[in-house]
Structure 1
Amino acid sequence: MLEFYDFLTYGFFAVQIGRTFFPSHSPYASLMLSLATFGAGFITRPIGGVVIGLYSDRAGRRPAMVLSFAMMGCAIVVLALLPSYASIGIAAPILAILARMVQGFSLGGEVGPTTAYLIETAPPGRRASAVAWQPASQQIAATFAAFVGLVLSSVMSHDALDAYGWRIAFLIGALTLPFGLWLRARMPESIHLPEEHVHATAQGADGRGRWQGHRRLMLLGLFVLASGTITTYVTQYMTTYAETTLGVGAGLAFATSVVSNGLGILGALMGGWLADRYGRWPVMVWPQLAALLLTWPVFLWMVTAKSPAALLGGFGLLALIGSLPFTAFYAAMTESLPKPIRGSRFAILYAVAIALFGGTAQLVVTWLIHVTGDALAPAWYLLVTGVIGLIAMALMEETMPPHGEV
């Protein structure tokens, strides 16, 4: 949660950061440059996935997680204290981009080792519930970041928020660095723990030479993660979308993110609970289908009404249902990978999907709205990618342990 807070906070303050580091006569150009820097953090995520993921398979999950958190903490301090373009000129955006790239490298190697750790330390009958804390922690981070934004936008003037308010949000993340390092350094190692009920695709004493046997699984996982990460980052974009496209106040814009991400936490945890009781496959497929059916009506309601009920209630419901299937997917994917390659393969797969689709999601949505003039453009984007994710989920195998194993 602490690491994702540091990474996601940038997205919530993209407008203010754009004015600080990328001043322009065109608000659209300033926002696009800011979002491009947000996307720069995704370029290095596959590299971090390879380096830190392989490190976790060789040295252990704990040292890999300590390394990634330390790098993230250093980068957030740089961003929080970096002088503006008006103060140091072109050095400001260059250093901002470099800091984002360090954050991306760190986060690229974060998800694989932590997801593997959760699977390896949980009893077979509670694996999905344990893994649920991976997507839930991301939602908690996004909710907290949005809540910080809501508070700051409520108590500070527009000019103060632009000048230094967003830096306060970054410094809150920087203050967590010592606690996060202490917490992770005390965690027991899991890589040498024996595993109960290994799924057929993950069996074998040595998984290092089994890449060829997992090509289908990796390809399906890439499609699912592409769909999921686009949904995630379009959701994180709702603060900017509500403010710049729908024209609502900053308070309601931040509140939309707080509510939608808060319900996303509930959905992620419910998804894990359901997947442990009814299986991974049904919890992936049916909620994903329901989310697809709701996407167009919810966005149409938001665009036409622009009301708190539409933004908080409508999009909140969509976030709740849309977060259910991905917890089940996390469990199914990690259960299908052999332990010797689990941390690195999941890290690489996740980082590549995020780099290709997550880092571009907010840029693509902003561009689509700009060139079409259609406020419903995000809905079309979510529908297309959601269908791809649904097909990939439907083609995955059930990995739930036999009933009675807890």
Structure 2
Amino acid sequence: MTAVSAAPLPARSHETRPLDRRDARTLLLSALGGALEFYDFVVFVFLALPLSELFFPKDTAPWLAQVQVYGIFAAGYLARPLGGIVMAHFGDRSGRKRMFTLSVFLMALPTLAIGLLPGYAQVGVLAPLLLLLLRVVQGIAVGGEVPGAWVFVAEHAPARRVGFACGSLTAGLTVGILIGSLLAAALNARLDHAQLLGWGWRVPFLLGGVFGFMAVWLRRWLDETPVFTEMRERRQLSQGMPLRVVLSEHRGGVVVSMLVTWMLTAAVVVVILMLPSLAPKSFHIAPRLAFLGNALAALGLTLGCVLYGWLADRFGELRVLLVGSLALVLGTYALFGDLAAGGAHFLSLYALDGLLVGVVGVVPTVMVRAFPPAVRFSGLSFAYNVAYAVFGAGTATAIGWLAARAGRMAPAHYVAITALVSVGTCFWLLARARATSSEST
């Protein structure tokens, strides 16, 4: 087995400096490309209902067609590890920037193609098969994009600003959700059902494809990370399979990253992505009101990621993640409790809970610090994507199991369970850090 050189990297001159204009440009271009790519990935779920009517036979029961569309949506999650592992391998061996650009290209192409697909009425069973294939390519792309983006900005930022950099990048990703939510809300408000099925559903995908190719062009102006450049110059790159090194020498980092990713997936998938569909069906909230609340929550999430990232630099990422996870439990129960009581404060509580979901902006900082630079991309990508594939694809099943026992509050219980797992992980890491500090003194 190939080992990673144990020689430490020398301290870089930019580690203690403040963020400068060059850093701001890197963060802006990275976040913009990430927003467009994440929009391409999540807009699918906002259009689940029209897709279920267009890509399956007309005599299919509505609930079955919707389940099948969500199954295709889940296929994107299951494909993420493949893209993440392959791109991370080359990212650790050949450079972060190349994979960073490739991932957004691989997202733009299938998104544009989805907007041009014929429906079941035109090509029969080929329609859902093509939709599934393109969704898998989207999953491969986002599997390399998200971990690669976190590693890219973390290795560009000064050491004391990594939390803000990762939080800002995560905020950029969530802007993609906000754009998708706003566009879906506008389409539902301005088009009738026939127009939405006729041509309206294509608009978000066509726009996403065009903007995705713009993001490819913008990323030409980014530089390779200083960390990777220095490792290459000092011949400290991993010589072999970085993932093999991760699984043999950094299993603790993998476990920690998977546990905090579970909380991230639950918070984003349940509160931000699923609730606009759950609220009308389970709590009788008007669909337009649900989409408006979702837009407010997505805006709160964007602001929350930046806020929590800034706090992580000031107070430490583990303490902020611990307190933020507890706050998420309280905010989610308040939101679902209000929905169960009639939703009198739905908009304000949804916006607040979106802000509290912003604690996910601290998760990438924890994961970046869990692996050494030579295998960082591979370690983070493997842990994040495998966890997201398992937990993201299994969220609906887990909530369904809980619903049989806890009724309409099941989604809140699921988010709370994962947040408490995050709290326990933080306590364990803080205790281990104190023990290590005591031994060294």
Cα RMSD of the aligned pairs, angstroms, is 2.2
Question: 1:43 and 1:180, CA in 2 relative to 1: closer, same or farther beyond 3 A?
Answer: same
Alignment of 1:196-211 (within 5 A): 208=242, 209=245, 211=247
1:229 aligns with 2:265: yes
Matched, 1:89 2:124: yes
Alignment partner of 1:241 is 2:278: yes
Aligned equivalents of 1:223, 1:275: Cα separation in 2: 19
Seen in structure 2, the aligned counterparts of structure 1 residues 210 and 9 have a Cα distance that, compared at 3 Å, is closer
Cα offsets for 1:245-299 (capped at 9, x unmatched): 3333332121121111110011100011101111111111011112113322320
Deviation by residue 1:48-88 (Cα, 9 ceiling, x = unmatched) = 11101111111111110111111111110121111111111
Question: What TM-score, normalized to structure 2?
Answer: 0.83
2:319 equivalent to 1:282: yes
Report runs of 4+ in structure 1 exceeding 4 Å deviation.
Answer: 204-208, 366-369
Whole-Å separation in 2 of the counterparts to 1:40 and 1:210? 26
CA distance in 1, matches of 2:246, 2:397: 37
Q: How does 1:253-402 map to 2 (within 5 A)?
A: 253-307=290-344, 309-310=345-346, 312-324=347-359, 326-362=360-396, 364-365=398-399, 374-397=407-430
Alignment identity in percent?
A: 28
Q: Describe the shift of the 1:366–1:15 C-alpha distance in structure 2 as closer, same or farther (beyond 3 A).
A: farther
Deviations 1:124-180 (A, max 9, x none): 111111111232122111011000011111111122223322211111101113311
The number of residues matched between the two structures is 387
Aligned to 1:220: 256
Alignment partner of 1:19 is 2:53 = yes
Q: TM-score, normalised by structure 1?
A: 0.89
Q: Is contact 1:5–1:145 with CA below 8 Å preserved after alignment? A: yes
1:250 corresponds in structure 2 to: 287
2:296–2:354 contact (8 Å) kept in structure 1: no
**Further displaced range: 131-140 or 356-365:** 356-365
Q: Indicate the larger mover: 347-356 or 212-221.
A: 212-221
Distance in 1, Cα, partners of 2:134 & 2:394: 18
Comparing both chains, which one has the higher relative contact order based on Cα–Cα distances under 8 Å and sequence gaps of 6 or more?
Answer: 1
Distance 1:243 1:27 in 2: 16
Structure 1: gaps of 5 or more residues = 196-203, 400-406
> Does the 8 A contact of 1:20 with 1:163 survive in 2?
no
Asked if the contact 1:221–1:392 (Cα under 8 Å) also holds between the matched residues in 2, the reply is no
Partner of 1:28: 63
Q: Contact (CA 8 Å) 2:105, 2:212: kept in 1 or not?
A: yes
Which segment is superposed worse, 169-178 or 16-25? 16-25
1:291-320 per-position Cα deviation (integer Å, ceiling 9, x unaligned): 11332232021132134x31x211221221
327-336 vs 222-231, which moves further: 327-336
Q: Provide structure 2 residue ranges, at least 5 long, that are not aligned to the other structure.
A: 1-34, 434-441
Cα distance between partner residues in 2 of 1:264 and 1:304 = 24
Tell me, in whole angstroms, the C-alpha distance in 1 between the residues paired with 2:188 and 2:397.
24
User: How far apart in 1 are the matches of 2:126 and 2:406?
Assistant: 34
Q: Give the number of the structure whose alpha-carbon radius of gyration is greater.
A: 2
Deviation at 1:388, TM superposition (A): 1.8
Q: CA 1:210–1:86 in structure 2 vs 1: closer, same or farther (change >3 Å)?
A: closer
Is the CA contact 1:62–1:189 (under 8 Å) kept in the aligned structure 2? Answer: yes
> Retained in 1: the 8 A contact 2:163–2:312?
yes
